[in-house]
Amino acid sequence: GENVEQHPSTLSVQEGDSAVIKCTYSDSASNYFPWYKQELGKGPQLIIDIRSNVGEKKDQRIAVTLNKTAKHFSLHITETQPEDSAVYFCATNQAGTALIFGKGTTLSVSS
């Protein structure tokens, strides 16, 4: 089955810096790659996603890149703000299957 690895497990940055979180996956048939932000006691919130026919997608301060050959995808957050502090999860699936999640990255942005 699919296996998703996520690094780093914790990430501390200063406000205004960039943050990058990386994930690798094992199943070459996976074709959907979302990123979720989870705050304490809440369900995961989709922040950006990308499909396998696209290499990069950007939404304001957030971007995701995908390298299908290497089977890895990354989340990039620029100009970080304290409210970006949360746990971030990558996930992947193919049509008709459940999302499989990475282990999560705790991002701390200090002002």
Partner 1 sequence: GAVVSQHPSWVICKSGTSVKIECRSLDFQATTMFWYRQFPKQSLMLMATSNEGSKATYEQGVEKDKFLINHASLTLSTLTVTSAHPEDSSFYICSAGRQGSSYNEQFFGPGTRLTVL
| Cis amide leading into 8 (omega within 30) | yes
Q: Which residues of 58-81 are buried (b: 16+ CB within 10 A; e: fewer)?
A: eeeebbbbbebeebbbbbbbeebe
Determine the Cα–Cα distance for residues 15 and 41; give it in Å rounded to an integer: 24
User: Which residue, 27 or 32, is less far from partner 1 as judged by CB?
Assistant: 32
Residue 100 is which amino acid? I
Q: How far is the CB of 26 from partner 1 (least distance, A)?
A: 16
Q: How far is the CB of 87 from partner 1 (least distance, A)?
A: 8
Nearest C-alpha neighbor of 26 from the set 109, 100, 103, 105: 100
User: Which residue, 27 or 49, is less far from partner 1 as judged by CB?
Assistant: 49
Q: How far is the CB of 1 from partner 1 (least distance, A)?
A: 9
Q: How far is the CB of 14 from partner 1 (least distance, A)?
A: 24
| Residues at the contact surface with partner 1, assessed by CB under 8 A | 31-32, 34, 36, 41-46, 49, 51, 89, 93-96, 98-104
User: Which residue, 21 or 102, is less far from partner 1 as judged by CB?
Assistant: 102
User: Which residue, 11 or 101, is less far from partner 1 as judged by CB?
Assistant: 101
Residue 29 is which amino acid? A
